[in-house]
Amino acid sequence: MQQQKIKRFLAHFVLDHVTIEYLKYGHQLTIEQLKLLIFILHFTENHKEDLSLNMIIFYKNYQKNQLLKSITHLYEFNWISKKRHPYDQRRLVITLTQNQCSKITQLIEELEHFLEVKSTLINEINHSTLLSYYLKCHSQFRVIEQSCTSQHLTLEELYLLGLLIISDNKTIFKSIKVHALKGIIAMGPIIKTLQSKGYLIKSRSRDDERYIVLTLRKEKVNVIQSEIEECYNKLEQGIQHV
């Protein structure tokens, strides 16, 4: 059961990171900006009243400075329009043109297709709620990240350690590098940190000295498994109601 949870943790971690990169380089958006766009679209479709910054803060609990930065970015990339309220020039109103509504809808459809392709290893996903599932997953990873594990390991460190565990606690660096998600995760610095923390040993292969071998310290294996299992349980709790 532990092995299954480790594999699920790794699959969710990969899904989160590749989706962040897809939005960043494909659409110049962060996950938070995507969530804001979805909210603005749904509000526009379901309400006749104008959408002000104060209303967004009320409904979505944003910090005003953070919201202003996101609104400015979305406006500059033509995701939204903005204007001054006709009866109060101090108030900023967010609107969407028909083209912008279509653009956001197309983005959502493309993202859902991307998630469907990238989530094939996660069997428990209901594909009718795929985007909601992913957004919950992303938010829960941020909660886990901020709460810090009992062993003070980062999610990236747990990802690498998890890869070693499912490789029977030992593998060559070249094999691990394949899982660096095309450079998204810098494996070199993480390996050095885990060496200094006493989790793994780095050595030359006896069969071929050109290869670097990474081996988990035996006394750390149970600790690592427990840490990843705890993180996965927290992740599961956050996404189980989607």
Q: What residues does each domain of the chain span?
A: 1-147, 151-232
- CA-to-CA separations, 66 to 50, 61, 122, 140, in angstroms, rounded: 21, 11, 33, 20
Q: Which residue has the higher pLDDT, 117 or 38?
A: 38
pTM of the model: 0.88
Note the pLDDT tens digit of each residue in 180-189.
776 678 888 9
The pLDDT, as a whole number, for residue 88 is 67
CATH T-level assignment (fold) for domain 1-147: Arc Repressor Mutant, subunit A (1.10.10)
Phi–psi pair at 53, nearest 5 degrees: -60, -40
Note the pLDDT tens digit of each residue in 47-82.
888 898 989 999 888 899 999 999 999 999 999 999
b/e 57-71 (16+ beta carbons within 10 angstroms → b): eeeeebeeeebeebb
What average pLDDT does this structure show over 16-37?
Answer: 96
CATH T-level assignment (fold) for domain 151-232: Arc Repressor Mutant, subunit A (1.10.10)
With beta carbons less than 8 A apart as the criterion, state whether 161 and 138 touch.
no
Lowest mean pLDDT, pick from 4-13, 122-131, 135-144, 199-208: 122-131
